[in-house]
């Protein structure tokens, strides 16, 4: 009998001893960086993955979970998606690695796909292995194109783990080593829930734009290479920029001689609903965009796409041995084709609306849910001390665990670690949204 058919009820299965998980934890403790143990399922009970298929994940103890986080918004079209698996195996049997010294049709096909579906005049791609490298490439290209050095990013941004991308990342706990790129600096990030008390949304937008103008006039020499931001800050807690934010920021950036870099590592490929890319909701055309995570359903792919003139400025030799590897490219192409054929941006809009309505309804009786926000299949609950806006990371942690007890995997994040992040697969069905929301509602009641 297939294992799916005998998957035990997740709650009943809690009584198991977790001996296999504990044994794996001991082995991991001996040989992997200690900080990885701190981050295991956000700090509490470790979860050792047995296998995963579609929207479901099984731990090694046999418990089944509905996965509403997809390996941090990375498994976009379901675990072990048959079409992606077949394309991967086919490519591995054809040519597994060749390096960028040779032409590979599949790599060119992915670049053609990106040029066709990304907004504006973005046409030329460079492939790497991670979001960090995609963002590094974007900054390098902005600097070669403009001849300027300073880059402005946002507080609460996350951009990766290289020295420069730790400088781009504006969370103290994600920075280490102390040697960063001193030309990357942050301005205030837009977060309507945490705007100054009593300020209207319009006044808040003016306040943010004034802060950027003042920053450019005082903390740079008046020129910048780029402004770089996520349309919805992922690690920052799914904070959605106000509707006119990027339209107001862009002229200031251009005036300072800079280009617009938009990081779509979390928001890309239909995640926010209606469009391929998140930034299309804001109606601006970036000069450079970056992708990773969901582009290849879990394969290590980073992509930086730019306008022809920005691309032309990159003249020094640059190479990524594994970037554009035919196997990862086959995975990216199969994932993108799957998204296109099933119009998953439309599914993300429809199921995202269903999820949002259910979240608002289940949050209403609980004063500890301060904010429900997000777009498409990227939704969040911010937990606070009732009657205040004081962050409540302890309850957020308890809720993550309570959701797990209900057989539901969700994520946690935000500046204060008090935001629950919910991001089902792009091909999730209405039935599974209802199933997941039922589980989450019971978890909310459990921590009330
Ligand atoms: C918005 C954003 N940019 C860049 C990165 C870095 O990606 P990677 O971990 O693949 O290097 C992340 C990772 O979480 C991210 O969320």
CA dist., res. 76 & res. 79, Å (int):
8
Per-residue pLDDT, averaged over 322-341, amounts to 97
Q: Find the CATH number of the domain harbouring 25.
A: 3.90.1150.10
pLDDT in tens, 174-227: 998 888 899 999 999 999 999 999 999 999 999 999 999 999 999 999 999 999
**Domain end: 293, 320, 341, which one?**
341
In this predicted structure, what is the pLDDT of residue 43?
62
Residue nearest to atom 3 of ligand 1 (CA): 159
- Confirm whether 77 is domain-assigned: no
Flag whether pLDDT at 3 surpasses 50.
Answer: no
Whether 337 and 351 share a structural domain = no
Flag whether pLDDT at 16 surpasses 70.
Answer: no
Flag whether pLDDT at 263 surpasses 80.
Answer: yes
Written in H, E and C, the secondary structure of the chain is CCHHHHCCCCCHHHHCCCHHHHHHHHHHHHHCCHHHHHCHHHHCCCCCEEEEEECEEEECCCCEEEECCHHHHCCCCCECCHHHHHHHHHHHHHCCCCCCCCCCHHHHHHHHHHHHHCCCCCCEEEEECCHHHHHHHHHHHHHHHHCCCCEEEECCCCCCCCHHHHHHCCCHHHCCCCCCCCCEEEECCCCHHHCCCCCCHHHHHHHHHHHHHHHHHHCCCCCCCEEEECCEECCCCCEECCCCHHHHHHHHHHHCCCEEEEECCCCCCCCCCCCCCHHHHCCCCCCEEEECHHHHCCCCCEEEEECHHHHHHCCCCCCCCCCCCHHHHHHHHHHHHHHHHCCHHHHHHHHHHHHHHHHHHHHCCCCCEEEEEEECCEEEEEEECCCCCCECHHHHHHHHHHHHHCCEECEEECCCCCEEEECCCCCCCHHHHHHHHHHHHHHHHHHC
If phi > 0 it is left, if psi is from -120 to 50 it is alpha, else beta; for residue 156 that is left
Closest to 67 in 3D by CA, of 86, 51, 82:
51
Whether 442 and 361 share a structural domain = yes
Per-residue pLDDT, averaged over 416-444, amounts to 98
Determine the residue of 69, 128, 132, 154 to mutate for testing ligand 1's pocket, defined as the one with the most ligand atoms within 8 A of the Cβ atom. 132
Question: Pocket around ligand 1: residues whose beta carbon is below 6 Å from it?
Answer: 130-132, 135, 158-160, 230, 234-235, 263, 265-266, 292
User: pLDDT tier at 35 (50, 70, 90 boundaries)?
Assistant: confident
Whether 164 and 190 share a structural domain = yes
- Would you state the structure tokens that stand for residue 390, as one six-digit string? 């004081």
- Ligand 1 centroid, distance to 355 Cα (angstroms): 25
CA dist., res. 371 & res. 423, Å (int):
16
Q: Are 235 and 171 in contact (CB under 8 A)?
A: yes
If phi > 0 it is left, if psi is from -120 to 50 it is alpha, else beta; for residue 439 that is alpha
Whether 217 and 279 share a structural domain = yes
Of all residues in the chain, the percent with pLDDT exceeding 70 is 96
Whether 93 and 207 share a structural domain = yes
In this predicted structure, what is the pLDDT of residue 298?
97
Of all residues in the chain, the percent with pLDDT exceeding 90 is 91
Task: Give whole-number Cα distances, 442 to 279, 366, 434, in Å.
Answer: 34, 12, 12
Whether 110 and 234 share a structural domain = yes
- Would you state the structure tokens that stand for residue 389, as one six-digit string? 């806006």
pLDDT in tens, 377-398: 999 999 999 999 999 999 999 9
In this predicted structure, what is the pLDDT of residue 8?
42
Per-residue pLDDT, averaged over 271-290, amounts to 98
Closest to 423 in 3D by CA, of 361, 355, 368, 366:
355
- Confirm whether 217 is domain-assigned: yes
**Domain end: 341, 363, 397, which one?**
341
Top pLDDT among 367 and 17 is at 367
- Ligand 1 centroid, distance to 140 Cα (angstroms): 17
User: pLDDT tier at 361 (50, 70, 90 boundaries)?
Assistant: very high
In this predicted structure, what is the pLDDT of residue 15?
41
**How many domains in the chain?**
2
**Domain end: 323, 341, 359, which one?**
341
- Confirm whether 96 is domain-assigned: yes
Determine the residue of 139, 235, 293, 301 to mutate for testing ligand 1's pocket, defined as the one with the most ligand atoms within 8 A of the Cβ atom. 293
Task: Give whole-number Cα distances, 327 to 38, 74, 332, in Å.
Answer: 32, 17, 9
Closest to 347 in 3D by CA, of 412, 432, 407, 280:
432
- Ligand 1 centroid, distance to 157 Cα (angstroms): 10
- 249 φ, ψ (degrees, to nearest 5): -75, -40
Top pLDDT among 37 and 233 is at 233
Flag whether pLDDT at 438 surpasses 80.
Answer: yes
Question: Structural domain of residue 399, as residue ranges?
Answer: 3-68+344-447
Q: Are 84 and 331 in contact (CB under 8 A)?
A: yes
User: pLDDT tier at 45 (50, 70, 90 boundaries)?
Assistant: confident
- Confirm whether 161 is domain-assigned: yes
Residue nearest to atom 4 of ligand 1 (CA): 159
Determine the residue of 71, 133, 234 to mutate for testing ligand 1's pocket, defined as the one with the most ligand atoms within 8 A of the Cβ atom. 234
**Torsion, Cα of 421, 427, 430, 433 (10° steps):** -20
Whether 398 and 430 share a structural domain = yes
- Ligand 1 centroid, distance to 387 Cα (angstroms): 34
- Ligand 1 centroid, distance to 265 Cα (angstroms): 6
Flag whether pLDDT at 336 surpasses 90.
Answer: yes
In this predicted structure, what is the pLDDT of residue 12?
39
- Confirm whether 76 is domain-assigned: no
- Confirm whether 73 is domain-assigned: no
Whether 438 and 418 share a structural domain = yes
Per-residue pLDDT, averaged over 75-79, amounts to 98
CA dist., res. 401 & res. 442, Å (int):
12
Determine the residue of 69, 165, 292 to mutate for testing ligand 1's pocket, defined as the one with the most ligand atoms within 8 A of the Cβ atom. 292
- Confirm whether 74 is domain-assigned: no
Whether 7 and 31 share a structural domain = yes
Question: 64-73, 178-187, 295-304, 348-357 — which is least confidently predicted?
Answer: 178-187
- Confirm whether 361 is domain-assigned: yes
Whether 118 and 140 share a structural domain = yes
- Residue in the structure block whose two tokens are 């010294």: 101
Q: Find the CATH number of the domain harbouring 326.
A: 3.40.640.10
- Ligand 1 centroid, distance to 91 Cα (angstroms): 26
Q: Are strands 64-67 and 56-59 parallel, antiparallel or unpaired?
A: antiparallel
Whether 337 and 348 share a structural domain = no
Whether 288 and 388 share a structural domain = no
């Amino acid at each position: 009998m297939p294992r799916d058919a005998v998957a035990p009820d997740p709650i009943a299965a809690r009584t198991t001893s977790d001996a296999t998980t504990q044994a794996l934890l001991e082995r991991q403790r001996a040989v992997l960086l200690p900080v990885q143990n701190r981050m295991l399922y956000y700090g509490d009970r470790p979860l050792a993955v047995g296998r995963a298929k579609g929207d479901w994940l099984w731990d090694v103890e046999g418990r089944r979970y509905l996965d509403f986080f997809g390996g941090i918004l990375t498994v976009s079209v379901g675990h072990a998606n048959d079409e992606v698996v077949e394309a991967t195996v086919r490519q591995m049997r054809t040519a597994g690695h060749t390096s960028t010294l040779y032409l590979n049709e599949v790599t060119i096909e992915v670049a053609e796909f990106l040029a066709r579906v990304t907004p504006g005049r973005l046409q030329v791609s460079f492939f790497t292995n991670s979001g960090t490298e995609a963002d590094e490439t974007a900054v390098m290209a902005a600097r070669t194109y403009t001849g300027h050095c300073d880059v402005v990013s946002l507080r609460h941004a996350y951009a990766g783990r290289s020295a420069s991308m730790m400088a781009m990342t504006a969370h103290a706990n994600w920075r280490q080593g102390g040697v960063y790129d001193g030309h990357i600096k942050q301005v205030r990030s837009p977060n309507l829930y945490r705007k100054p008390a009593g300020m209207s949304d319009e006044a808040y937008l003016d306040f943010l734009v004034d802060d950027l103008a003042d920053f450019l006039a005082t903390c740079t020499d008046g020129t910048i290479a780029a402004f770089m931001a996520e349309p919805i800050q992922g690690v920052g807690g799914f904070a959605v920029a106000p509707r006119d934010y990027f339209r107001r920021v862009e002229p200031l950036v251009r005036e300072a001689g800079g280009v617009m870099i938009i990081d779509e590592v979390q928001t890309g490929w239909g995640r926010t609903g209606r469009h391929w890319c998140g930034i299309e909701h804001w109606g601006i055309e970036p000069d450079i965009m970056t992708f990773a995570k969901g582009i290849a359903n879990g394969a290590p792919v980073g992509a930086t796409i730019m306008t022809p003139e920005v691309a032309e400025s990159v003249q020094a030799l640059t190479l990524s041995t594994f970037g554009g590897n035919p196997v990862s490219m086959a995975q990216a192409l199969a994932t993108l084709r799957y998204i296109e054929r099933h119009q998953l941006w439309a599914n993300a809009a429809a199921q995202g609306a269903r999820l949002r309505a259910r979240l608002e309804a289940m949050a209403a009786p609980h004063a500890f849910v301060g904010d429900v926000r997000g777009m498409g299949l990227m939704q969040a609950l911010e937990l606070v001390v009732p009657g205040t806006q004081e962050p409540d990371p302890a309850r957020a942690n308890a809720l993550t665990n309570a959701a797990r007890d209900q057989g539901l995997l969700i994520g946690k994040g935000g500046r204060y670690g008090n935001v629950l992040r919910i991001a089902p697969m792009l091909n999730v069905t209405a039935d599974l949204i209802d199933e997941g929301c039922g589980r989450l509602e019971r978890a909310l009641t459990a921590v009330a």
